[in-house]
Amino acid sequence: MSLKRSIANKSKSSASAKSKSAVSRLASSLKPHFGKVRIVEVGLRDGLQNESTELSVEQRFQLLKKLIEAGVQNFEIGAFVSPKWVPQMAHTKALVEKFQTSAQARSLTPSVLVPNLVGFESARQNGLKEVAVFISATETFSQKNINCSIAESLVKVQEVVSAARKNKMRVRGYLSVCFGCPFEGAVNESKVVELVGKLLKLGCYEVSIGDTIGIARPGQVISLFSKLKKKFGLEKIAGHFHDTRGQSLANILAAYQLGCRVFDSSIGGLGGCPYAKGATGNVATEDVVYFFEGLGVKTGLNLQKLIEANHWLEPQMNHPLSSKVSKASPS
């Protein structure tokens, strides 16, 4: 063997050893966290709300059935909002009624997004046991998204939580633009922590931290989630990451390593925000499941069935879906 080849082989061997060592160190750092995560499927609401293709009630129900067959237990079925502002959610009542008469309704508790007491009443009258409320971390986004200030939105949340408590219903909270706002830019972490505290104090059983425009980086996630952990613990905190800049899985890992165990995702990576120009879809459910399976973390979801759901859904949407895992998997 020539001297050059010998040196090259030693160099490859050294690089391989270093790579294995790095992987081993990462695996060791994750060992204490092995266990299970809860995935909240938001494709039927946050996923579809910004799509140009409008699925029928029957198509939405078929998608829901496929998601349930894949093991999905925590999901948003839609939103009781004005169809004038979010026309994609006009089918929510019909979809809820169809779901309520299905066999799956006996064992599952879907959630709907409600902006106020009017939306809450629609949820209650349709027999739902959980609703989701939302506020923004910046004033401008709050005005653009729900036409009111942060303070006014908190009053609406209080009204919904109070009504929910009387009717023995649960309330989940969403906090938008926690890492960056399309109108105001950088977001003060102390403001995010303050608002999370207010949502928890009002009675939300969990608060989902939204990277609405997909601008977060792992360093930001570590910084913010560390503050949240110190102040509240992470048992009632979820991560909601969009994949606009391809950082969602890295951000999920950063939050997971700190102790976060609940993450929102959307089948196929559907989604975006109608009030945040340039924001692309949520992180794809299939990609999240594939990612966690690689860490030995249980999700309770069947990856192959999720991929099948993706392959069924894509032609219905009339455009390619962004999930990397489903793209790489044959039909």
CATH of the domain at 184: 3.20.20.70
Residue type (1 letter), 33: H
- Using a pLDDT cut of 90, give the percent of the chain over it: 81
What average pLDDT score do residues 296-306 get? 97
Question: Residue 314: how many CB atoms within 10 A of its CB?
Answer: 17
DSSP letters for 259-328: T--EEEEBGGG----TTSTT--PBPBHHHHHHHHHHTT-B-S--HHHHHHHHHHHHHHHTS----HHHHH
CA–CA distance, 306 with 283 (Å, rounded to integer): 14
For residue 256, is it within any domain?
Answer: yes
273 labelled catalytic: yes
pLDDT of residue 4: 47
| Nearest alpha carbon to residue 81 among 30, 29, 20, 146 | 146
Q: What is the pLDDT of residue 105?
A: 87
pLDDT at residue 281 in the model: 83
Q: Which own/partner contact pairs does 25-29 have at CB distance under 8 Å and 24+ positions apart?
A: 29/257
* Count of the separate structural domains present in the chain: 1
User: pLDDT of 149-208, one tens digit each?
Assistant: 999 999 999 999 999 999 999 999 999 999 999 999 999 999 999 999 999 999 999 999
> What single letter denotes the amino acid at residue 173?
G
More confident residue, 14 or 82: 82
Backbone angles phi, psi at 241, to 5 degrees: -115, 135
Segment holding 232, helix H or strand E: helix 218-232
Q: Domain for residue 160, yes or no?
A: yes
Is the pLDDT at 19 greater than 80? The verdict is no
Nearest to 77 by CA among 32, 51, 45: 45
Alpha carbon 33 to chain centroid, angstroms = 20
- Lowest mean pLDDT across 16-30, 100-114, 256-270: 16-30
Q: Give the pTM.
A: 0.89
Query: Does 241 reside within a domain?
Result: yes
* Enclosing domain of residue 75: 36-328
Where does the pLDDT of residue 18 fall: very low under 50, low under 70, confident under 90, or very high at 90 and above? very low
Q: Which helix (H) or strand (E) holds 190?
A: helix 189-202
The first and second tokens of residue 148, run together, are: 């009111």
For all residues of the chain together, what is the average pLDDT?
A: 90
Cα–Cα distance, 307 to 285 (Å, whole number) = 9
122-158 pLDDT, tens digit per residue, is 999 999 999 999 999 999 999 998 899 999 999 999 9
From the list 240, 89, 79, the residue with the least C-alpha distance to 175 is: 240
Query: CA–CA separation, 220 vs 223, rounded Å?
Result: 5
Catalytic residue, chosen from 178, 181, 204, 273, is: 273
Report the C-alpha gap between 40 and 272 in whole angstroms. 16
60 pLDDT above the threshold of 60: yes
Nearest to 282, CA basis, from 184, 207, 210, 179: 210
- Residue 3: per-residue pLDDT: 45
Q: Which of 89, 99, 103 is nearest to 132 (CA)?
A: 89
- Identify whether 56 is part of a domain: yes
Under DSSP, is residue 242 helix (H, G, I), strand (E, B) or coil?
strand
Q: Rounded to whole angstroms, how far apart are CA atoms 261 and 298?
A: 11
What residues contact residue 15 under an 8 Å CB cut-off, 6+ apart? Answer: none
3-state secondary structure of 134: strand
| Tokens, residue 194 | 């303050």
Is 31 within a domain?
A: no
Are 173 and 210 in contact, with CB atoms under 8 Å apart? no
- Do the domain assignments include residue 189? yes
Does the residue 296 lie in any domain? yes
CA distance 88 to 45: 9
Q: Is residue 1 part of a domain?
A: no
